[in-house]
Each structure stands twice: as structure tokens, then as C-alpha cells.
């Protein structure tokens, strides 16, 4: 229900928590946060407790991350809708339904103890969540900022790159079946010689959403970025958008209005160190093939329970360009069970098969690290795939190798490295969920706990080399 910031240091060859570090702090559901960008102060953001619409309390259901070259951290609010509920039956209209906000509580029951989570009493409060939040981890006294210019949806992560002209580009996935893939381009340019001048680059800019095209039966083609700016591409008052703030608060509706491609749950996005390619995991989609979610393009399989990774190359290597070419780096599958498209792409075999790619990230050498959050029943369509896992892919050859297998009933998620790339930090989330018999990480009869694994090579070398 928030973010923990803590410092670690390497002593006598092992990493340890710096318990008295001035940087250690918790950012939670009651931490004050400044609302910035076009939606700041808008009527949709105003509440009884904050009539100005500029100061929200808290961040929660945070998914993945982003890192900026000016030293801040981006945390992404994902399934925020589950924190709201009410004892009264409330209809929040089509927009509330699109974001999953409803009277029935999802199990947290926060509305019984904090009135701002009661949607009958405070129907605007949920508009203040579903954003990317920028945090300065090196300044414990700093106030986090909600960056509304990047749009409101169920964010997975924020993959930031500096374009060759200095503009900041952030790629963003909306993790729900049939939702979309976005990018943000900053209004102003990055200044490598004056980092303080970069602190508000995410406050102003333009949001775009992707539309993919391809020939029938092909898993490659062309794509375009469609601008989500009020007054353009049908985003007008006549079509239900009064201003730019409404476009951003209801970004999902705006994406539908402009005809964006529905995707198989866009999760993490990662930019190759060369800057020439971008990858996005499409985890799965049981609704693919139903009305509004046609089979084709980067989503080539109906009732897709395995997922795939799409990659694209911006035209002329320019991340601000409106066009790109795309293909599928890998289609996950099970060649031991299927001999059709559900067997996966040719680079999948019995020794590396997996389902539901989720977290991804590159190391400095350009190796693609893939983490899964899928079905670990080891039965039926998933027979032989075992627990969730982590793999390493070569973007040039397409080769994929399994790197590690997780403990029982967990998700492998979260990835970063020490500066010398000789220690890899990997997250293990909710081991033993739903009562599965796990005792990770302590063993014995201990209760399972989420943790961070630190992985090194016996010879002290670079991980993956």
C-alpha cells in the first residue's frame, strides 16, 4: 500500500540495510502529494477535503517503476479501484465502470474507516489515483508529485528515455485486458548540465496512444502514435471531452475515441540501451477474440493465455516520431501440449517455455530480462511450465534461456542491478498465495514472505555475461 525507500551498502562482500540512513522512509496512503499538470485544480480533482484539487493524500497499489536521469523515481498506481467502496449503491457512469470503481468493496474495506474511500460520499476521490508519481529518494523532506500529464489508467511502469533532440519520452502500459499502450513526450528538453532544471519536465507535454496495423496473418507491421490533445482527433466537447484535463482523467475513453488498438494487457515497457528498440510485455487476455477485441496484429491469438512480447523501432530512431515498425520478439506457449500457434514462436521449446511475461528490463549490455506472473498450476495448457520464472533473451538472435525459477505460488517481479552489474536484485512477490504450501524465504515452518533476492556469480563477474 505504498512505497518504501531504504538505503543498502556493501560491507565485507555482502549487501546490508543501512538502518539509520537519513533516506529511509515510507510513502503511504496518507502521505501528502502535489497534483501537477493539466488536471491540477480541475473540478474533477476537487474534493471536500481538498477544494483546491491540488493536494492528494497517498499512493497505493503501486506496480512497477521508472528512473529519471535527474535522480528521481517514478512509481505507478495500478489497481487503485479496489480501494474504493460504499455501503450505498452508487452509479459512477460509464467512466467509473471503465476504471472498475464500484460500490462493492474488493476486500480492503477502507471505506468503512476512512470516508474519502466511500464513493457515495466522495465520488471525486478516485480521480486522484491512477497516476504516475515522481519521488525524490535523495531528499527525505521532498513532497511526491502526481504527474497528470502522463494520463490516468492502471499503470504498470514508466520507461523513460532521452530522445536525441533532448525531449523526454516515457512509454506507459495500461494493465487490463483490451486497454492500450501510451507514450508521453515532454514539452521542454533535458539539460544534462543543469539537473535541477529537469525536475518538472514531466509536468508539461503531449500524451499519445498506439495504433498498430499489419497484413492479415502477419505478426509484424507498421504503427502510429495518435495525439490525445483536446480539440484534436475527435477529443471535443461534442464527444464528451470538455478540456484537456478531462482527456487525461479519462484517458481510457480518449484512447477509444481516437481508435487506438486494444492490447493483451500491456505490462512493463523497456527501452534497449541503444535507444533503437522498445519492448512491451503483453501478459495474456482471455477476452481476445470477443467483441471489441479482434484477433490480429500484435494480439494474434484468441483466448490468449500465454502472452507475447511486442517490440517496435521508432522511425529514423526518433522517439518523438509518429510512426514505427513493429514485430513480436516472442510468443509464449507450450510446445509440449500444442502444435499450433499456442505452442509459441520458434524460439520457444520445452526448456524455456513460460506463460504471462510481465516484468522486463535491460542490462547495460542489452540483454533482455523477462519475468513472469502467470499460471503455475503445472497442469493442462501449463503442464511442464512449473512456477513463475525469470528468463534472459537476446534481442539480436531471439534466443531465450531460463535464468531462475521462483518458489511456490509467487510472482517474480522487480529488477535492478548494482552499478557494476555484478549484483542483481529480483523481487519475489506473494509466495504461498491462496494458502499454497510455501515457507520462502526462511524455510522450516515459517510463514512465506515477499522479499528481494540478491544474486551474484561465484566468480564475482557480471550477471548474465
Q: What is the DSSP letter of 410?
A: -
Say whether pLDDT at 74 is over 90. yes
pLDDT digits (tens, 9 = 90+) for 10-60: 999 889 999 999 999 999 999 999 999 999 999 999 999 999 999 999 999
Position 61 confidence tier, pLDDT thresholds 50, 70, 90:
very high
Question: CB of 454 within 8 A of CB of 424?
Answer: yes
Dist. CA 357–CA 307, nearest whole Å: 6
Average pLDDT, integer, range 91-116: 94
pLDDT digits (tens, 9 = 90+) for 260-280: 999 999 999 999 999 999 999
Q: What is the pLDDT at residue 283?
A: 98
DSSP string, 306-335: S-EEEEEEEGGG-TTSSEEEEEEEEE---T
How far apart are the two ends of the chain, measured CA to CA in Å? 36
Position 323 confidence tier, pLDDT thresholds 50, 70, 90:
very high
Total Cβ atoms within 10 A of residue 48: 11
pLDDT digits (tens, 9 = 90+) for 398-447: 999 999 999 999 999 999 999 999 999 999 999 999 999 999 999 999 99
Given the DSSP bridges, would you call strands 73-77 and 62-67 parallel, antiparallel or unpaired? antiparallel
Per the prediction, the chain carries an average pLDDT of 97
Name the grid cell of 75: 512509481
Say whether pLDDT at 66 is over 90. yes
SS3 for 156? strand
Q: What angle do CA 111, 113, 115 make, to 5 degrees?
A: 55
Say whether pLDDT at 105 is over 90. no
Say whether pLDDT at 385 is over 90. yes
DSSP string, 15-53: EEE-TT-TT-EEE-TT-EEEEESTTTT-GGG--SS-TTS
What percent of the chain lies above the pLDDT cut of 90? 98
Say whether pLDDT at 106 is over 90. no
pTM, 2 dp: 0.98
Radius of gyration for the chain, computed over Cα atoms and rounded to the nearest angstrom: 22
pLDDT digits (tens, 9 = 90+) for 443-461: 999 999 999 999 999 999 9
Q: What is the DSSP letter of 258?
A: T
Dist. CA 312–CA 334, nearest whole Å: 25
What percent of the chain lies above the pLDDT cut of 70? 100
Beta-bridge partners for 314: 324
Question: CB of 127 within 8 A of CB of 47?
Answer: no
Per-residue b/e over 200-239, b at no fewer than 16 CB within 10 Å? bbbbebbbbbbbbebeeeebbbebbbbebebeebebeeee
Amino acid at each position: 500500500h505504498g512505497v518504501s525507500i531504504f538505503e543498502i551498502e556493501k560491507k565485507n562482500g555482502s549487501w546490508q540495510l543501512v538502518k539509520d540512513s537519513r533516506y529511509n522512509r515510507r510513502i503511504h496512503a496518507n502521505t501528502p502529494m502535489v497534483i501537477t499538470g493539466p488536471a491540477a485544480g480541475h473540478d474533477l480533482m476537487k474534493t471536500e477535503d481538498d477544494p483546491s484539487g491540488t493536494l492528494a493524500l497517498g499512493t497505493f497499489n503501486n506496480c512497477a517503476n521508472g528512473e529519471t536521469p535527474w535522480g528521481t523515481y517514478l512509481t505507478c498506481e495500478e489497481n487503485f479501484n479496489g480501494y474504493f467502496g460504499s455501503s450505498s449503491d452508487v452509479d459512477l457512469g460509464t467512466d467509473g465502470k471503465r476504471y472498475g470503481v464500484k460500490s462493492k468493496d474488493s476486500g480492503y474495506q477502507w471505506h468503512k474507516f476512512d470516508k474519502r474511500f466511500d464513493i457515495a460520499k466522495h465520488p471525486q476521490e478516485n480521480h486522484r489515483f491512477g497516476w504516475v508519481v515522481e519521488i525524490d529518494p535523495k531528499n527525505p523532506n521532498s513532497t511526491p508529485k502526481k504527474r497528470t500529464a502522463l494520463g490516468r489508467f492502471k499503470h504498470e511502469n514508466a520507461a523513460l528515455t532521452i530522445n536525441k533532440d533532448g525531449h523526454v519520452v516515457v512509454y506507459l502500459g495500461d494493465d487490463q485486458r483490451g486497454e492500450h499502450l501510451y507514450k508521453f513526450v515532454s514539452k521542454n528538453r533535458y539539460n544534462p548540465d543543469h539537473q535541477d532544471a529537469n525536475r518538472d519536465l514531466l509536468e508539461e507535454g503531449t500524451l499519445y496512444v498506439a495504433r498498430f496495423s499489419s497484413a492479415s496473418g502477419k505478426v509484424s507491421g507498421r504503427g502510429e502514435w495518435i495525439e490525445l490533445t483536446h480539440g484534436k482527433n475527435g477529443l471535443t466537447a461534442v464527444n464528451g471531452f470538455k478540456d484537456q484535463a478531462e482527456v487525461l482523467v479519462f484517458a481510457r475513453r480518449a484512447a477509444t475515441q481516437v481508435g487506438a488498438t486494444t492490447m493483451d494487457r500491456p505490462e512493463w515497457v523497456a527501452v534497449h540501451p541503444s535507444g533503437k528498440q522498445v519492448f512491451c510485455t503483453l501478459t495474456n487476455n482471455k477476452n481476445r477474440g470477443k467483441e471489441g477485441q479482434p484477433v490480429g496484429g500484435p494480439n494474434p491469438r484468441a483466448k490468449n493465455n500465454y502472452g507475447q512480447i511486442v517490440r517496435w523501432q521508432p522511425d529514423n530512431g526518433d522517439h518523438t516520431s509518429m510512426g514505427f515498425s513493429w514485430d513480436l520478439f516472442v510468443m509464449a506457449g507450450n510446445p509440449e501440449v500444442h502444435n499450433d500457434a499456442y505452442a509459441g514462436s520458434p524460439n520457444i521449446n520445452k526448456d524455456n517455455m513460460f506463460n504471462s511475461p510481465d516484468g522486463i528490463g535491460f542490462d547495460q549490455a542489452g540483454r533482455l530480462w523477462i519475468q513472469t506472473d502467470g499460471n503455475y498450476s503445472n497442469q493442462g495448457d501449463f503442464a511442464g511450465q512449473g512456477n513463475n520464472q525469470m528468463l534472459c533473451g537476446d534481442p539480436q538472435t531471439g534466443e531465450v534461456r531460463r535464468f531462475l525459477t521462483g518458489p511456490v505460488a509467487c510472482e517474480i517481479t522487480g529488477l535492478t542491478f548494482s552499478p557494476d552489474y555484478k549484483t542483481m536484485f529480483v523481487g519475489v512477490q506473494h509466495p504461498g498465495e491462496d494458502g499454497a504450501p510455501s515457507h520462502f524465504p526462511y524455510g522450516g515452518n515459517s510463514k512465506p514472505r515477499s522479499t528481494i533476492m540478491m544474486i551474484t556469480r561465484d566468480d564475482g563477474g557480471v550477471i548474465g555475461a
